[in-house]
Amino acid sequence: MKFLKWTGYALAAILSIICIAATYVKVALPDTGPAPDIQIEKTPARVERGRYLANHVTVCMDCHSSRDWSRLAGPMMPTGQGAGGERFDQQMGFPGTFFAPNITPYALGSWTDGELFRAITTGVNKKGKALFPVMGYHRFGRMDQEDIFSIIAYMRTLPSVKKDVPESQADFPVNFIINTMPAKAELSTRPDTSDVIAYGKYLVNATGCVDCHSKTDKGSVIPGTEFGGGMEFKSPAGSMFSANITMHKQTGIGNWTEADFVGRFKVFTTPGYVAPPVPASQPNTPMPWTMYAGMKESDLKAIFSYLKTIKPIDNQVRR
């Protein structure tokens, strides 16, 4: 009897510890600090830089707009840009149902610049809630502060689109774990464009190449697979796998020239180009080609220069 009694006490203690830990994670986290008290001047230079980044580098507008998935690479729809609504759910391999929010003034008009800055760079929204890292806040938190200011300045110029987006819902236990995901920003200084490799590395972080072109486990990149491809993108029509973009000559892009790399993107900017239709029975690529295609050639060349410094990985990807 004493054994059962002490076993009961032990189980009760363990349950108490679990409850306390769960309460702490749910109530006290995330904790990335208060939103900074800042007011960002919307200078023409900032707005234009932000437009370039949001549409062609960080591609914020990719997720926060509607895409035409009946065509190759799901080009962005011409209307409702920034109104959000893109769905990421269990069918796609996500631990819940997540929606890209509306980032036009209709939804964010009451947000301060500091609250936007905190959300973009740490993953904590106006209400103090954690954002699921399909939003690349971990990467954006390593960018130059001025580039983030520029993105916010551009966001403030978006036409207001009246669209109410459903609230995202994480499955158990991610609905608890999500609160541990936000992290304080570790901002950097954007390298000078003359330092091509360092600047290319900066752009690769901003574009998020490694997030998709690597193997992942429960949403995290598996160490040693960076840029080697193989991440699975699920859809009702089947799966697509990201390409190996290391310089391995047999399984990667080691035989590509700089012109090949730039041309692979710029083909989508050819005058008169229209994304071809993709039958509903075939999986479509999630790679936002038409958006990245708008990058400056010099930026694409810098990315290629940096990729040349990455260790080649022998990984034959079944696309």
Q: What angle do CA 171, 126, 203 make, to 5 degrees?
A: 80
Average pLDDT of the chain? 92
Average the pLDDT over 286-292 and give the result.
95
Q: How far apart are CA 121 and CA 5, in angstroms?
A: 50
- Mean pLDDT on 133-141: 95
Q: Which residues contact 136 (CB under 8 A, 6 or more apart)?
A: 58, 208, 211
pLDDT digit string, tens, across residues 211-227: 999 999 888 899 999 99
User: How many C-beta atoms lie closer than 10 Å to residue 237's C-beta?
Assistant: 14
Considering only CA atoms, which of 33, 165, 31, 36 is closest in space to residue 108?
165
Residue 20 has what pLDDT? 47
Question: What is the percentage of the chain residues whose pLDDT exceeds 90?
Answer: 85
Report pLDDT digits (tens) over 161-210.
999 999 999 999 999 999 999 999 999 999 999 999 999 999 999 999 99
Give the pLDDT mean for 293-299.
98
Report how far apart, in Å, the C-alpha atoms of 215 and of each of 91, 155, 205, 252 are. Answer: 18, 32, 17, 14
Segment 4-29, tens digit of pLDDT: 555 554 555 555 544 444 454 545 55
pTM of the predicted model as reported, rounded to 2 decimal places: 0.92
pLDDT at 235: 86
